[in-house]
Chains A and B, each alone.
Chain A
């Protein structure tokens, strides 16, 4: 069976490699994409949208539908992961481990047992608990604010430099995942709970689609941000630039929340209790 699979993979790969010989050369000026489509964007993007980074203008304005449904795809990935992997177990049916901090003794509390009251002498620990490394914890605490500022910069500066909602959202999500790795999953969930991530997942898609629907209400086509000019009090060209920023923020919110909730579910085996 393995040999048959190997032969099939080899044949498909050979076919694909053979098909690439028909592609135009890299940067070929006579290729169809470079002759008609790219030329229009390069000549008109700045005049149409006042966005110097043409990639952002194409992604969020000219090809706004693509990006909207990409965001919807990421959102549905989080929903699918939630439905497939999330396990709801009653709180009382699991044994829990508590650590007495002054002496370092670990208590295992059987299901239904009396839990110690919340205080500074007892802390709840995971079954795979190891003593926290002070260096890692402190270094991550130093890094996380700068990573988040950088993520916000990437979202806000997507008009002028490489970046935008996807990359900035991933960087913001990575900062929260870094906090979860350096501390523990429970303290992260107490700061950014499951309900908040689920709300933010859908809020980003709603911001994107809502901006498009607002354009319809103002009498233009779906996602034609020029119609927002009367609301913002600017000319239509800068309104398109601002509209791109609004939908990039929506994309960033969704991507950040999806990355965080995927990490929550994967690292805790769906229980959102003990994690990496």
Chain B
């Protein structure tokens, strides 16, 4: 059973990672990156590294998303390329 969950989460990690670098909207990229971090956090927790999962949830999915959104707010929402 846990094997299926791991597979689904790994596929979601890959989808979020590719989407975060291809999407044109930088705000959307920041939020996709937060989703990526959260999925990684679940993966760490499944592998038994609870401390790393905790750090990933608080730093990756929490504060860094806010910092990205703050940077997008001060610059532009569209990519140039």
Contacts and interface: CB of A to CB of B under 8 A. Distances in A.
B63 A267 contact: no
A244 interface: no
B47 interface: yes
A181 interface: yes
Interface string A125-166: 000000000000000000000000000001000000011101
Interface string B59-81: 10011001101110110000001
A68 interface: no
Nearest to B47: A26
Interface in B28-51: 47, 50-51
Given A26-B47, A164-B51, A173-B63, A267 B73 contact: yes
A259 B63 contact: yes
Nearest to B62: A174
Contacts, number: 54
A82 B33 CA distance: 25
B58 A167 contact: yes
Given A55-B51, A266-B74, A267-B73, A166 B66 contact: no
Interface string A258-270: 0100110011110
Contacts of A171: 58, 62
Given A166-B59, A170-B58, A267-B73, A181 B66 contact: yes
Contact of B55 (A167, A174, A267, A268): A167
A271 B47 CA distance: 43
B67 A263 contact: yes
Interface of A: 2, 26, 53, 55-56, 154, 162-164, 166-167, 170-171, 173-174, 177, 181, 259, 262-263, 266-269, 275-276
13 contacts: A56-B51, A163-B51, A163-B54, A166-B55, A167-B54, A181-B66, A259-B63, A262-B67, A263-B67, A266-B67, A266-B71, A268-B74, A276-B69
